[in-house]
Every structure is written in C-alpha cells, then in structure tokens.
Amino acid sequence: MAATDFRDYYAILGVSKTASPDEIKQVYRKLARQYHPDLNPGNQSAEARFKDINEAYEVLSDSDKRRKYDQFGQYWKQAGSGAPGGAPGDFGNFDFSQYGNFDDFINELLGRFGGGAPGGAYSARSRSGAPGGFNDAGNFGEPSTMAGIDLESNLTLTLAEAFNGVQKRLSLGAEIIDVRIPAGAKPGTKIRVRGKGQANPYNGQRGDLYLRIEVQPHPFFQFDGDNLVCEVPIAPDEAVLGAAIEVPTPEGMVTMNIPAGIRSGQTLRLRGKGWSNPKGGRGDQLVKVAIAPPKELSAIERECYEKIRANRSVDPRSALKQVRL
C-alpha cells in the first residue's frame, strides 16, 4: 500500500489516539447521523464520508483491531493474518504507523550507510523476503528464514575509469570494501556485489549491494549505445580536396581518411574504435565532420579564396531557384 493510501481513522472521526471507547462511540453516532444517506439523498460526498466513518469505527471500536492498527498502521491487516504464532509480538511495541510504507521503515532501520559511494547514500531495494517484513503477496513473512536486504547506490566514474575498468574503495559505514568495476561499464550499468547488503537481524544473512554506474560527461566523446560519437573540425580545403587527418580515440590518435567533397555534418565510421563490451569486442567510433572556415586569413589565403570565388564553376544554391510555395 502506498503512503497516499493510508487511512487515518482517528482523523476521520476527529478524535485523538488516546480517545476512550465511549468517546469514539459518541463521536461516531453524531457523525453517522450527520452524514447518513437517508438524510443526504443524492449527496455522493456525504455517502463517501459515511462509508469512511463506518470503516473507521469498525476498527477503532474493536479493541484487538485498534491495538494492531495503533502498532502497525496501514499494515495492521497483514500483520494480523500472515504471521505465524502472532508475529506482531516479534517486534515488541514497535510503532509501524509512523512510516508511510515499508521501504521507509527499512531505510530507517538501516540508518542508511554514510560516506560511501560517490553520488549518494545507500538505500534499500524492495525485495521479497525483507527481514521482518511483508513478501510480494502482501503476507507477513517469517523473519528467521528471510534473506537480507539489498542496497543500491550510484557510483560515478570518469570516462577513462569506465572504459578501462577500475577498482574502487567504498565505505559501508564502518566496513571498507574494494569493488572491481569491469572495463566497458556504461551509464545505467548495475554492478552486483554479493553479500554486501544489509544483514537480516534474525539470521545474519546479508543481501547484495547494487552499484548503478554514472559516467561524468566528457568534452569530446558521447555515448551512442556501444558506439562513441564525436565531432571533428576540418578546413575547407580538406573538405574539397580530401585529406588524411588525426582523430582522437579512447586508446590514442588514429589516422582517418576524409573523402574529397565531404559535406559538413556527414558522419564517418572508425570500426572497432568505440566502447568496450564487457563480454568482449568493441563498438565503433562515429566521427561527425564539421567544416570550420578560418576566422582570420593571411594575404595569400585571401587572394586564393578570391580567385576560387571568381572562377567557381558550380553554384551550390542553383536548386533553390526552383523552390516555390
């Protein structure tokens, strides 16, 4: 049940948590008369209010139901039906009603681990069989046989660390662990560290730690699946005549041939020079070409460009003459 589904029966009746049974009965009778459908014909709001009032009174007028509701809040029904031998007693007088949902309870139980992976605190992952909690069917589980609690956190890497792989030292509260991140981790990759989650307080069994990889932005390379994308400027004469240019890759500079007559915005492919795949192989590097005219010209460059303009045989905008609405 989500936090927003929680019904505060005391608030519905407008009484305090310490209200006596007689006070609750007196308030109920007053409200029931006020919102009874027979006295509010066609009033759907009054009808809904009447149902809420009856639901609240049904629970708070029953001493056993009220005790469970006070202790377990929105989970009082599950706590009362699924636990062997009266499991609510296993938690003593712990008040679950202060939590909006079970994840909130788990996160406070853990106290969250501090000062660990870059990018944020560790948080509990919902998992069937969390210690002392409810399983996926909504039933109260047997604490002594349940698995530990999985934890999850973000881990931020540089592009070089993600490409080459890296060993990171992380702090899990008082525990320090070394985690090996394999080469080729990409944004969103999850690394599972077995047995480094939160322990089940009943049997000591630990869950797993999941590290969700984030990669810092790079000024030259961007991701495109298993490929890398970059943009390389070329001079106008290289675009016209073709050229062999040096292009950065994750492993260093390589020579790439620019075909004569290439247009700005076209993309060339360097096969096998992209991102590492943890299972083996490499993606490609996609090189987008951007023709970069010089901002300043020497005297001879200007003279040459003026001669080209005076003797140019092709009008690049000739097709535009045919454009009509």
Q: What are phi and psi of 316, to 5 degrees?
A: -65, -10
Instruction: Confirm if 170 and 177 have CB atoms less than 8 A apart.
Output: yes
| Domains of the chain, CATH where assigned | 100-217 (2.60.260.20), 222-322 (2.60.260.20)
Tell me how far the alpha carbon of residue 18 is from its chain's centroid: 41
The DSSP bridge pattern shows strands 166-172 and 267-270 to be: unpaired
Per-residue pLDDT of the chain (325 residues; tens, 9 = 90+): 444 456 789 989 999 989 999 999 999 989 988 988 888 888 888 888 999 999 999 999 998 888 888 877 766 776 544 443 333 334 445 555 555 555 555 555 544 443 344 444 566 564 543 333 444 444 444 555 567 788 898 999 999 999 999 999 988 878 899 999 999 999 999 999 999 888 876 677 888 999 999 999 999 999 988 899 999 999 999 999 999 999 999 999 999 999 999 999 999 999 999 998 877 788 999 999 999 999 999 999 999 999 999 999 989 899 898 999 9
**Predicted TM-score of the model (pTM):** 0.56
Spatial CA neighbour of 212 closest among 192, 234, 184: 192
